[in-house]
Amino acid sequence: MTDEPVLTLTERAAQRLLALAAAHDPPDCVLRISLEGEGPAARHTIAFEAAPRPGDVVLAQHEVTLALDPASAAALRGVTIDYEHGEGGGRFTARRGPANGKA
């Protein structure tokens, strides 16, 4: 087994997700992150759901509850999700490895 975290959510990403979740009913929903496809064509999907599904890997980081199906959890092991805001608006990014050199 590896000590690498399943997924790391930066505080900046968590703050943005909490703001988005506040508009959902219920506001204490979980964030489902899944990976569809493989390799360079792989695509991350993010959706709010009322509760985790049976068999999900459930994580809590920065007051955000994340739910991942086991296959997505394995594929996303070691990925850091961040939120960047620039001139054209904001976007979530996913990078393998720690954010800004910190886990």
CATH code at 17?
A: 2.60.300.12
Residue 101 lies in a domain: no
Count of helices and strands (H, E) across the chain: 2, 7
Please report the pLDDT score of residue 32 as a whole number. Answer: 94
What is the pairing mode between strands 43-49 and 7-9?
A: unpaired
Q: Is 1 domain-assigned? A: no
Please give the average pLDDT of every successive group of 10 residues along the chain, which has 103 residues: 77 94 82 84 87 95 94 91 91 76 43
For residue 13, give its domain range: 7-95
Q: Phi, psi at residue 92, to the nearest 5°?
A: -90, 145
pLDDT of residue 23: 84
- 103 within domain boundaries: no
78 lies in some domain: yes
How high is the pLDDT of residue 25? 76
User: Whole-model pTM?
Assistant: 0.79
**How many domains does the chain divide into?**
1
pLDDT at site 24: 80
